[in-house]
Amino acid sequence: MELTPTMERLIAELVKLPTIGRKSAQRLAFHLLRREHDEALALARAIEDMRARVRFCQRCGNIAETDLCALCSDRSRDRSTLCVVEEVTDVVAFERGGSYRGLYHVLGGCLSPLHGVTPDRLSIEPLMARLREGGVRELIVATNPSVDGEATALYLARLARSLGIRTTRIGVGIPIGSTVEFADQVTVQKALEGRREIEP
């Protein structure tokens, strides 16, 4: 059965969202229909406002509503440490961790020659410009532990070395709360390679 035209259009737009299938979209559309008029419109307004106001930090690429993001504007952050991540959502993940006090640089992905992602498609030149300005003592490369992420880390480490900047890679291994039993073989191998001395 076809629902009414505007209902079908709403469902078609909802289906374009990740992880939302036809059935979920229909449930969401009926939910928006049953809600108070103002409540349903609040979602529409929130989408419009977000698109009107959110932009990317001119310095690090994180999301912002002014030229610089909240982190780059925060004078209490440690400017000598820079953590390079693939996406803005990775910044969110590290900030959730809560202990990192340095700044970030969002690449916008990782190098992937097979998918046409060459260095000029990523925010690598702006990163180099930041490093050339001086003041950064450690570059932490936090790209994902995938083939492309590792290649990107190596590429960035070479560039940073040419500027005499120490480059580190985030640790890989068994996630806290998970078990060795359920880790895949590559993770187990990497966890072994990344073993550290226990100081008793």
Q: Could you list the residues that contact a second copy (CB under 8 A)? A: 1-7, 9-10, 12-14, 16-19, 24, 26-33, 37, 39-54, 63-65, 69-70, 88-89, 91-92, 95-96
Of the CA atoms within 13 Å of residue 81, those in its CB half-sphere come to 13
* Per-residue tokens: 92: 């969110």
Closest CA to 77 of 96, 90, 95: 95
Nearer to a second copy, 121 or 190 (CB): 121
User: Considering the complex, what minimum distance in angstroms separates the CB of residue 27 from a second copy?
Assistant: 6
Nearer to a second copy, 16 or 195 (CB): 16
User: Considering the complex, what minimum distance in angstroms separates the CB of residue 197 from a second copy?
Assistant: 33
User: Considering the complex, what minimum distance in angstroms separates the CB of residue 144 from a second copy?
Assistant: 16
* Per-residue tokens: 15: 């289906």
Sequence-distant (≥ 6) Cβ neighbours of residue 143 within 8 angstroms: 84, 85, 86, 107, 110, 149, 150, 152, 153
User: Considering the complex, what minimum distance in angstroms separates the CB of residue 150 from a second copy?
Assistant: 24
Closest CA to 152 of 95, 85, 80, 63: 85
Nearer to a second copy, 110 or 160 (CB): 110
Nearer to a second copy, 14 or 156 (CB): 14
Instruction: Give the distance, in angstroms, between the CA of residue 159 and the centroid of all CA atoms in the same chain.
Output: 22
User: Considering the complex, what minimum distance in angstroms separates the CB of residue 70 from a second copy?
Assistant: 7
In the chain, the amino acid numbered 65 is E
- What 3-state DSSP class applies to 183? coil
Nearer to a second copy, 24 or 168 (CB): 24
The torsion region of residue 183 among left (phi > 0), alpha (psi -120 to 50) and beta comes to: beta
